[in-house]
Structure 1
Amino acid sequence: MTAHTPPTPPFRDPQLPFAKRIDDLLSRLTPEEKVSFLHQFVPAVERLGIAAFRTGQEALHGVAWMGPATVFPQAVGLGATWNTDLVRRVGDAVSKEVRAMRAGDERVGLNVWSPTVNLLRHPLWGRNEEGYSEDPKLTSAIATAYTHGLRGDHPTYWRTAPV
């Protein structure tokens, strides 16, 4: 008698279109498992061979909240520099620190929650320090620079995935 190896589920087949893989995975998850995926810290789904993972990291001015790392000025301070090259270099440093943290803990995700591109148009918004400016042109230029730094320069593989 020979042992039977179960077929690879479609969601694990890299040859299939991404949409088919997602549809297959979603059809296999229970409602409770789907809800658990809405949290930053996602538990394992052992029956499907999915390890626990973290969906992302806040990386607006560094990732020191996760452990030893550089703390950069808040976004509004970076915007005040009007220096896109400096901000790109800050993004580059942050992405390298995220990668270094991941090397020590595979649960550290490469999806980084940054930059914030809300315009700072109302002084009562409680999170104004997270945006770059009230000016759309400056905000766009600085946010683009930070995003490029976070992604890195490789033409295919991003160092992190800014969102």
Structure 2
Amino acid sequence: MLQEAIDLRVNPSDETIHLGPLAVRFLLTADNSGGGIAAFELIVPGASRLAAPTHSHDHYEETIYGIDGVLTWTVAGKQIDVGPGQALCIPRGAIHRFDNNGSRDVKALCVITPAAIGPQYFRESAEVIDAAAGGPPDRAKMAEIMRRHGLTPAPPQA
């Protein structure tokens, strides 16, 4: 029976990472879960889209649970709306992105299994997005960060 001192806590990160208008706040990281799961809250303002390139990941699933508003995910070319109380599991290798096509802010819970990505990816991406000062982020820099953290950028669409 495991009775050693275990560092358990609620909401281990008070840090909110801003990626342009988007906000990410980790609730669980690999360090909090033995590497099994990472979970973060995602806030996407109305009429906003993912600034990072469309991408896939081969080493983990990403499950999205809608809390407030509707986020439109494009997965393998298919658009899927995820609203409050709905969940979408994005399988390994599926090329995907998201957009908030509505006028209200969206809040979603994103769960990564296993916990192959964490706050550092978002911190590094935020630096590149902030450096773009509202313009498109440097695609080569974003791609390098993505690859280092286990994401595969999709080729630009014509």
TM-score when scaled to structure 1? 0.22
Higher helix share: 1
Q: Greater relative contact order: 1 or 2 (C-alpha under 8 angstroms, separation 6 or more)?
A: 2
Higher strand share: 2
TM-score when scaled to structure 2? 0.23
